[in-house]
Amino acid sequence: MFDYNWSLKDYPKKKKFTVFGTFLCGGGSTMGYKLAGYNHIGGVELDPKIAAVYKKNHNPKYLYNEDIRDFNSRNDLPSELFNLDILDGSPPCTTFSTAGQREKTWGKKKKFAEGQKLQQLDDLVFVYCETIKKLKPKVCILENVSGIIKGNAKWYSKKIIEYLENIGYSVQVFLLDAATMGVPQRRQRVFFIGRQKELNWQNLKLDFNFPVIPFGDIKDKTDNENKLSEYFYSLWQNRKPTDGDFSAICERVEKKYKLFSHRFIKREKPAATLTTNIMDFILYDVPRAINQNELLKISAFPYDYDFCGISPIFITGMSIPPVMMAHISEQIKVQWLDKQV
């Protein structure tokens, strides 16, 4: 089992099997692969500021700071990228999140948090499928929010599977929760995992049932940063044990339904899915939001990660917990890659 409390110095020295990533963000997936003993050689990231953070923490062999559409059009890629064991990608999930506007953003261009560029996001899952077709890795992984397999978004899931099947991959779809994988956070994510049909590998089995880690196990009693404002403190004083967020308090006190995104962190439960706003996570028994020490553990990020001046909650909130990816990639190695003739 990989520990959620770790350091960048904890990577194993022996490296086996090559991985390349897309939509890198801060490198949540990258760190997971490295923890599992893979040779992660870099990837593609649109946002120049985030790409700089990635370079600082991961020192990649290859780093393409550009739109993945431009990457797909390149004819100067090194031969190493056409002999990958795994190609990994987490296309921006804003348009599929059940907490967002979903269908209202499909087919439209706008500025999203991912990349800070005028772009259409819902088609990026298919653009990434084109990357898979171009590089032809042994294994391809497409990660996204659980909303992509719900409601009208199921159409995207069916098209992803259909596309990958047509270019020679057998595809499995897994809905996994980080809380059952040694991460102190409930974070459900969908993983489309394909392997080349010609390899004749059996279906991958992913069944994680690690003990759930409650917030009380990681609570930091020495740092009380992120104290509540006077207004939030007045609401916090009216909380009840049954309240999951501030909306219930507002309905009782102000007769208004609002602040539903400001959730309570309770010591007996794991933290809820991280967002990019630190004030979405307020302790039930102490009038403050989570602090950075707690944030790093909740996100399973290493305690010596350099955020280069960017808000830690922004990067961690948009990243796969490294420990989650470490467990998945370890099973791919054990069940598939290690058994290659």
Query: What residues act catalytically?
Result: 93
| Nearest alpha-carbon partner for 90 in 44, 31, 144 | 144
182 Rama sector, left if φ>0, alpha if ψ -120 to 50, beta otherwise: left
| Residue 83 CA, distance from chain mean position | 25
> Which residues, in sequence order, are CB contacts of 101 under 8 Å at separation 6+?
95
- Reading the block at residue 259, the tokens are 């602040």
Q: What's the CA gap between 13 and 196, in Å, rounded?
A: 29
Half-sphere exposure (Cβ direction) of 63: Cα atoms closer than 13 Å: 23
What would the DSSP string read from start to end of 209-276? -PPP--GGGT--SS---SBPPHHHHHHHTT--TT-SBHHHHHHHHTS----TTSEEE-TTSPBPPP-S
**Residue appearing with tokens 């963000």:** 25
Find the helix packing angle between 322-335 and 28-35, rounded to 10°.
50
42 Rama sector, left if φ>0, alpha if ψ -120 to 50, beta otherwise: left
Q: What's the CA gap between 84 and 19, in Å, rounded?
A: 6
Question: What is the torsional sign of CA 98, 101, 107, 108?
Answer: negative
Supply the DSSP symbol for 92: -
